Chains A and B, each alone.
Chain A
């Protein structure tokens, strides 16, 4: 089973700052199958990034994804108030097919 470990668990930043979120896999993950989601309280997750670096429809360009192999990063270039939420990475691959990281909470400092 591929385990995804996200760090930090909580990130405290101010609007306008840059956020860097990490997702590390226990085994190599195909870049085609690494995604990032944003979840706000009481809402369903929203797809931000797929294929490690492609933005989903309607996602602002301040969100970017990068990485390969076992190390992946979600970067938010300049935080807007609406960006404070929980972020999850997710991989699709060998059985069990799909796993999520435990999440990073991005909170206002």
Chain B
């Protein structure tokens, strides 16, 4: 069965970096785009962008350029989200989600990133 398993919660200080992983199984990793979605505490869903799992080409939504980097390791069917120069407002749950023709049919369980001094 299709599964997306994300890495565990992270507690980071402002200015640090974090790398969240999303390991896919149960399907051909390169057949579907991988998206990232942020959910701040008590807030709604915010699309961050996506990565083409064939070419590795990322596309970032407005507001997620510069400090956010999507990457892949196709040999282990894993997508990554790296955030640098962390700020308190980056505190959120980050989800990876498999995209099928514009909608997200499978989601990771979410990774809580907390930024606090």
Q: When A44-B95, A47-B105, A56-B105 are in contact, do A96 and B46 touch as well, CB less than 8 Å?
A: no
Contact of B103 among A1, A50, A57 (CB under 8 A): A50
Main secondary structure of the interface of B (DSSP, over half): strand
Q: Please state if B107 and A32 are interface contacts (CB–CB under 8 Å).
A: no
| B108 surroundings in chain A (CB, below 8 A) | 44
| B95 surroundings in chain A (CB, below 8 A) | 44-45
| B109 surroundings in chain A (CB, below 8 A) | 44
Q: When A44-B109, A44-B110, A98-B35 are in contact, do A88 and B104 touch as well, CB less than 8 Å?
A: no
Q: How large is the interface on A (under 10, 10 to 19, 20 to 34, 35 or more residues)?
A: 20 to 34
Q: Please state if A103 and B103 are interface contacts (CB–CB under 8 Å).
A: no
Whether a CB of chain A sits under 8 angstroms from the CB of B59 is yes
| B62 surroundings in chain A (CB, below 8 A) | 1, 96
Q: How far is the CA of A101 from the CA of B43 in the complex (A)?
A: 11
| A50 surroundings in chain B (CB, below 8 A) | 100-101, 103, 105
A-B pairs with CB below 8 Å: how many?
63
Contact of A100 among B46, B102, B110 (CB under 8 A): B46
State the Cβ distance, B72 to closest chain A Cβ, in Å: 19
Name A57's closest neighbour in chain B (CB-CB).
B105
Q: When A32-B101, A44-B108 are in contact, do A99 and B47 touch as well, CB less than 8 Å?
A: yes
Contact of A88 among B44, B50, B105, B110 (CB under 8 A): B44
Q: Please state if A98 and B44 are interface contacts (CB–CB under 8 Å).
A: no
Name B110's closest neighbour in chain A (CB-CB).
A44
Q: How far is the CA of A100 from the CA of B95 in the complex (A)?
A: 14
Q: When A96-B47, A100-B44, A102-B44 are in contact, do A90 and B103 touch as well, CB less than 8 Å?
A: yes
Q: Please state if A97 and B105 are interface contacts (CB–CB under 8 Å).
A: no
Q: Residue-by-residue, is A81-106 near B (CB-CB < 8 Å gives 1, otherwise 0)? A: 00000001010110011111111000
State the Cβ distance, B14 to closest chain A Cβ, in Å: 26
Q: Please state if A46 and B107 are interface contacts (CB–CB under 8 Å).
A: yes
Q: How far is the CA of A100 from the CA of B45 in the complex (A)?
A: 6
Task: Name 28 interchain pairs, CB-CB below 8 A, sorted by A.
Answer: A1-B62, A32-B101, A32-B102, A33-B102, A35-B104, A44-B108, A45-B45, A45-B95, A45-B107, A46-B107, A47-B103, A47-B104, A50-B101, A50-B103, A50-B105, A88-B45, A96-B47, A96-B62, A97-B50, A97-B59, A98-B35, A98-B61, A98-B102, A99-B47, A100-B44, A100-B45, A101-B44, A102-B44
